[in-house]
Amino acid sequence: MQTHSFKPDLPPPVLSVGVLGWLRANLFSNWFNTLLTFFAIYLIWLIVPPIIQWAFINADWTGTTRADCTSGGACWVFVQQRLGQFMYGFYPTELRWRVDATLWLAIIGAAPLFVPQMPRKALYGLGFLLVYPVLAYWLLHGGLFGLSVVSTSQWGGLLLTLVIAAVGISGALPLGILLALGRRSNMPAIRVICVTFIEFWRGVPLITVLFMSSVMLPLFLPEGMHFDKLMRALLGVILFQSAYIAEVVRGGLQAIPKGQYEAAAAMGLGYWRMMGLVILPQALKLVIPGIVNTFIALFKDTSLVIIIGLFDLLNSIKQATTDPAWLGMATEGYVFAALVFWIFCFGMSRYSMHLERKLDTGHKR
Amino acid sequence: MSEANKQPSAEPMILMQGVHKWYGQFHVLKDINLSVQAGERIVLCGPSGSGKSTAIRCLNRLEEHQQGRIVVDGTELTQDLKHIEAVRREVGMVFQHFNLFPHLTVLQNCTLAPMWVRKMPKRQAEEIAMHFLERVRIPEQAGKYPGQLSGGQQQRVAIARALCMKPKIMLFDEPTSALDPEMVKEVLDTMVSLAEDGMTMLCVTHEMGFARTVANRVIFLDKGEIVEQADPDTFFTNPQNERTQLFLSQILH
């Protein structure tokens, strides 16, 4: 009998690997790409050094008034002096510890959820989601057990931005999932209701929704019935974003093969267990990029509450720039606003990438 | 193989009486009458589009029949969701494309239904799952995800997953058709050992060797009708109907 001897594995050619190989393949592969590379280096040299010069080298970092800004670069004294307002809005200075406590409570409370070995994680997560909002509302708003009331009209700055974003996200996701399931339901009445809801809220701009919620809604409510302005804005954001989430989730549901539904049904799982245990975990994993995309858009859209006179981070900064004592500091203010927004959005983006990698079970169809 | 001479009990395990089904205008099942006793092993075969898959999918209501009666283990399949779920608890199914849940490990695939449908404690469900994974000879894969297994291994997990519900009836819908040729045998071996334990089985398959050695009865369907049914010896050596003869001449080379 003949035996076949296999050829040994050889190393790849030197010029296709390592730093040199990378440079050659990506930057200098032909004369046109070489030209583009040098042009790009020129552009970077043109743009980046002046920005660094302005933001860091010539910047003023310490002081108390604009008179301390003498070096001609960025005047970060402005941001530093007004940081309290940017973070807390008109929240009474002596009560700001309550905002800090709310934040620490969120960080400490949520921390165990990020420990992989934690037992009964789902139960704890559910409990946290139920208990934390109540505690947070009590801390921020007060009114019970000796905490003085801070009305929502005094909330502002990053605090307000985070409240709207967090409530918007945690309200819109479950509602959006239900709407997506309803739109694919076999029951015509439920389907029609969900389609109508989604198409209505997707069809109107968020600005209109916020405007309507603050101007029109009170006209329809009975005399003397008061509905907090922030609550109305939150409701508007939740309903609006849930329509987008619903369509993203529906895309994921459509990508799940029919066999998964059949296998779940064949073993006797009812509708909700089939969805909750088999279909949604796969569908939601597929649409993480789309969901996070919607969340990031939601986070940035919180600035639109300016239209109904709420002072979120951007609006607080805008207002501070009109202070006669700090005229001409708009650039520093907006750069700071952009930086804060970017940090949060980039954080969400990185977390979603981490989540995608973690949930990847190596099953590629 | 030990041929158990069971007395046919009064109640058949599966009863189909005058079952009809249409897909739109297309009449896919025409007056199907079938009675299966406990412990019987039935192989359904026939050309593609003959309705054999549809017929067994009606038995656990993955497809709905529009006329006639289907009674499984004493429960009639109607619109009543309670009846449907009761039947599905007692009927295991294995699919052509395995349909394992890719986001769960092999073990979790096996414990899902016992825990959520049978309300079994996790520990007990895992013991049963490991028992059946050993039975299909892949206990060492319990911690892996389906995407990391070969087709044959996936199908054996699918069989174990169905067995974990301790079903009275097992339905196989072309379980080896999507497998690479060298993996067909490991799945068929598992099915044979299941048959030897006296499981009531209905298999849609083109594996005529399996039909010959395992089946009590072979049923030939064509164009939505049962054309011929007989014990395997008669069926393969002396088919009565010309359609059966043509079919056999095409698949047995």
- Both tokens assigned to B62: 């993955």
ipTM score of the complex?
Answer: 0.90
Q: Do A266 and B92 touch (CB under 8 A)?
A: yes
Confidence of residue A14 (pLDDT cuts 50, 70, 90): low
> How does the average pLDDT of chain B come out, rounded?
90
Mean pLDDT comparison of A82-96, A184-198, A298-312, highest-scoring range? A184-198
End-to-end CA distance of chain A: 41
Q: Do A268 and B88 touch (CB under 8 A)?
A: yes
Q: Which residue has the higher pLDDT, A298 or A77?
A: A298
Interface mutation vs chain A, best among B85, B101, B177, most A CBs within 10 Å? B101
Superfamily of domain B14-250: P-loop containing nucleotide triphosphate hydrolases (3.40.50.300)
Contact B22, B57 (CB under 8 A): no
Residue of A nearest to B97 (CA): A259
Query: Coil, strand or helix: which one is A213?
Result: helix
Q: Does B127 touch chain A (CB under 8 A)?
A: no
Strands B200-204 and B41-45: parallel
Q: Which residue has the higher pLDDT, B113 or A333?
A: B113
Q: Which residues of B touch A267 (CB under 8 A)?
A: 88, 92-93, 112-113, 117, 161-162, 165
Handedness of CA A16, A22, A23, A26 (dihedral sign): positive
Q: Does B143 touch chain A (CB under 8 A)?
A: no
Pick from B10, B70, B6, B1: nearest CA to B39: B6
Residue-wise pLDDT tens digits, A17-26: 678 778 888 8
Distances (CA, A) of A174 to A242, A300, B230: 8, 20, 55
Pick from A227, A342, A357, A349: nearest CA to A292: A349
Q: Do A267 and B92 touch (CB under 8 A)?
A: yes
Residue-wise pLDDT tens digits, A29-71: 888 989 999 999 999 999 999 888 888 877 778 777 777 777 7
Question: In chain A, what percentage of residues exceed pLDDT 70?
Answer: 97
Helices (H), A256-365: 258-266, 271-273, 280-286, 288-301, 313-321, 330-359
Question: CA of B101 to nearest chain A CA: how many angstroms apart?
Answer: 7
Q: Do A267 and B165 touch (CB under 8 A)?
A: yes
Confidence of residue B3 (pLDDT cuts 50, 70, 90): very low
Q: Does B99 touch chain A (CB under 8 A)?
A: yes
Residue of A nearest to B93 (CA): A266
- In this prediction, residue A65 carries a pLDDT of 77
For residue A289, pLDDT over 70 is answered with yes
Confidence of residue B2 (pLDDT cuts 50, 70, 90): very low
Return d(Cα B217, Cα B232) in angstroms, integer. Answer: 6
Q: Which residues of B touch A364 (CB under 8 A)?
A: 147
Residue-wise pLDDT tens digits, B112-157: 999 999 999 999 999 999 999 998 989 999 999 999 999 999 999 9
Contact B208, B191 (CB under 8 A): no
Q: Do A363 and B92 touch (CB under 8 A)?
A: no
Question: In chain A, what percentage of residues exceed pLDDT 90?
Answer: 32
Kindly list the structural domains of chain A, giving each domain's residue range(s) and its CATH number in brackets, ordered by start.
151-360 (1.10.3720.10)
- Both tokens assigned to A292: 């996070």
Q: Do A363 and B102 touch (CB under 8 A)?
A: yes
- Both tokens assigned to B248: 């056999």
Buried/exposed A227-243: b ≥16 CB within 10 Å, e otherwise: eebbebbbbbbbbbbbb
Query: Other C-beta atoms within 10 Å of B190: how many?
Result: 22
Query: Other C-beta atoms within 10 Å of B44: how many?
Result: 28
Q: Do A266 and B60 touch (CB under 8 A)?
A: yes
Question: CA of B147 to nearest chain A CA: how many angstroms apart?
Answer: 4
Residue-wise pLDDT tens digits, A91-114: 888 888 888 888 888 888 888 888
Pick from B70, B71, B19, B14: nearest CA to B37: B14
| Mean pLDDT in residue range A110-124 | 82
Q: Do B95 and A260 touch (CB under 8 A)?
A: no
Domain ranges for chain B, please list them.
14-250
For residue A155, pLDDT over 70 is answered with yes
Question: CA of B64 to nearest chain A CA: how many angstroms apart?
Answer: 13
Q: Which helix (H) or strand (E) holds B217?
A: strand B217-222
Q: Do A270 and B99 touch (CB under 8 A)?
A: no
> How does the average pLDDT of chain A come out, rounded?
85
